[in-house]
Structure 1
């Protein structure tokens, strides 16, 4: 609340507040997560802390950053290839590590924090410069219950940053900037390619606002080479990765075919949700990991519907598709996928900031949950994978 008051008098004060709020939560998040780490480990130091937070998919990204993608088969190694993990973020970490000679996980952790900090700055105009919502959003990313996802070697920090860049560019009708961000997003995670639909929806909305009819939109679009280029460029990152896999592995779609090795086989999303909700705990009262995953998917889809009600159709479609596409295979990593969708977490921050009371309550919940959820992550709690 004090920062909100400081931000009002002049532009300089507002700039300071906008930069200072996420920095404050960078520090508090590090302190809380390190306290959780220290409670379960006797080894001190940032390197040990960073290594302890490197769980599950993090190890795959470390391997890609250090050794690249293997060619199948690889003697004396796993027959599960790294191809399902997209290359942009490991490449970025490898480039930074070539300049700063520190362990990969240390470089990646610092880079992830920097990406999450930058994502907060980009979110400021997307949150309509609402200081309470901005503070909550920064707290969620950097000091919240899932902040370890955004501060270790996972793709979520870069994915959130690039997603925010796309929607900020669309908000300003900067279609070339949106296309470039979309291309990078499609090289970060497979579902990133779906953001091109948000770009087309934004173009359609602007065309309709100028009095154009829906039937004449395709013809109008074909007469705008600049917009067509923006659409074509958007999936360039995915196409580049397909070409790379074809030339090195011999299978341009190895990132899809390898999913069977991770137990991901296409099925009925509704059946997966029902099975998850039905996996009741045999002891205790805490929901099981499948129940948490199913609830996360339902909450994510509900928030996507709220975005649609608010006429944010592009963001709603993008988020719904990013949930449904992995849900076609199973519930694995569903919690991480949902909390990594920037439009949903921004919407949540806006809703919780409606009053000072709910804002303070949510902020307290975020900070207190950070400790326990970090300890659960380090302990290998499956719902957080």
Structure 2
């Protein structure tokens, strides 16, 4: 009996592990099928290579250029006066390294790498979702077969950003702060807002200290007595600092990634004004919201979900997500939809809320899969709200 009692849990654990791995794999296949069908409906050229090229829109072309040619030294005669410095280096470097081993076209390597990153992000989300099966299914469907799955399966930073963000919060959940620091360092080399996750790390450390009977006032002294925690904090922005040093040595301007934003039409202003301008950009014909309205809706939805995270006492995740929305909002609403859906804690929260009942879960799943086709067509067609 004792042997049987041990064997049954082990068999159950193996089944769970297989199911956890199989669910996102199923959505990898279904997502590819749906997006390819959408591509085939608007393209005369078929094949996976043509599909990958068709989905490489907007910022994707910049990342392909960085992966193949690196960052330019300005000025370059007879070239664009907009440098690539605003796009952070870690993901293009990763694709370049993989391409050195598998010598295929950059966009093919990047597409497969993005799918792999999104798949891995799903696996990391399983413990973060407290092993909630319905929420896990919805989250996997959203990333890999959902309306915005194109963002997570082409050469954009969202797949790696979501994966590394999930790794940070899983490490914090397990109080493995050094792992959180390493993931944070890589995150800060992926996108500028990645550096903000260090505040979530400090908040989690503070909660652990108070859980041990400490107070807020005694937290700094306790922290100074923990060199391992200090190392985790100090290495968190290492990716950003390394990029600043690289730009200083090669371009002469360590903050070129900020200064070049003006060339993209990003100038600091009042985020409330940007929100109001977006909401008031009503369509001149038809009833569908305009691209600025969609961006404003996304920003407001993201901030509202951040408040829900705070209400659920997930203060670190709430602060990280809110700051990651407000920072780009200071310049304008461009790419706001993409920025919001790329915040893993928010999308996990949405999955949890939609999984509250079997009916809402099934309805959301059907909506995700159905919208994937039409949003892919819109992406290929250059719909501005999806940029």
TM-score surpassing 0.5?
Answer: yes
Shift of 1:295: 0.2
Aligned equivalents of 2:319, 2:210: Cα separation in 1 = 19
Residue equivalent to 1:225: 227
Residue equivalent to 1:128: 130
Q: Counterpart of 2:285 in 1: which secondary structure?
A: coil
Shift of 1:8: 11
Residue equivalent to 2:375: 373
Structure 1: unaligned runs, 5 residues or longer: 1-6
Which residue of 54, 62, 65 corresponds with 1:63? 65
1:250-261 mapped onto 2 (5 Å cutoff): 250-261=252-263
Aligned equivalents of 1:35, 1:76: Cα separation in 2 = 39
Residue equivalent to 2:320: 318
Residue equivalent to 2:199: 197
1:49-128 mapped onto 2 (5 Å cutoff): 49-128=51-130
Residue equivalent to 2:285: 283
Which residue of 371, 382, 385 corresponds with 1:383? 385
Aligned equivalents of 2:34, 2:116: Cα separation in 1 = 18
Shift of 1:203: 0.2
Shift of 1:331: 0.1
TM-score (norm 2): 0.97
Q: Could you give the per-residue CA deviations for residues 191-227 of structure 1, whole angstroms, max 9, x where no partner exists? A: 0000000000000001011111111111111111111
Aligned equivalents of 1:284, 1:310: Cα separation in 2 = 39
Q: 1:256 to 1:82 in 2, by over 3 A?
A: same
Residue equivalent to 1:4: none
Q: Counterpart of 1:10 in 2: which secondary structure?
A: helix
Report the more deviating stretch, 207-216 or 323-332.
207-216
Q: CA RMSD in A?
A: 1.0
Residue equivalent to 1:3: none
Q: Could you give the per-residue CA deviations for residues 329-384 of structure 1, whole angstroms, max 9, x where no partner exists? A: 00000000000000000000000001000000000000000000000000000000
Aligned equivalents of 1:263, 1:9: Cα separation in 2 = 57
Aligned equivalents of 1:296, 1:371: Cα separation in 2 = 20
How many residue pairs match? The answer is: 379
Which residue of 10, 18, 29 corresponds with 2:12? 10
Matching of residue 140 in structure 1 with residue 142 in structure 2:
yes
Q: Could you give the per-residue CA deviations for residues 90-118 of structure 1, whole angstroms, max 9, x where no partner exists? A: 00000111111111000000000000000
Aligned equivalents of 1:50, 1:75: Cα separation in 2 = 31
Aligned equivalents of 1:371, 1:280: Cα separation in 2 = 26
Q: Counterpart of 1:307 in 2: which secondary structure?
A: helix
1:264-283 mapped onto 2 (5 Å cutoff): 264-283=266-285
Q: Could you give the per-residue CA deviations for residues 241-296 of structure 1, whole angstroms, max 9, x where no partner exists? A: 00000000000000000000000000000100000000000000000000000000
Aligned equivalents of 2:117, 2:100: Cα separation in 1 = 18
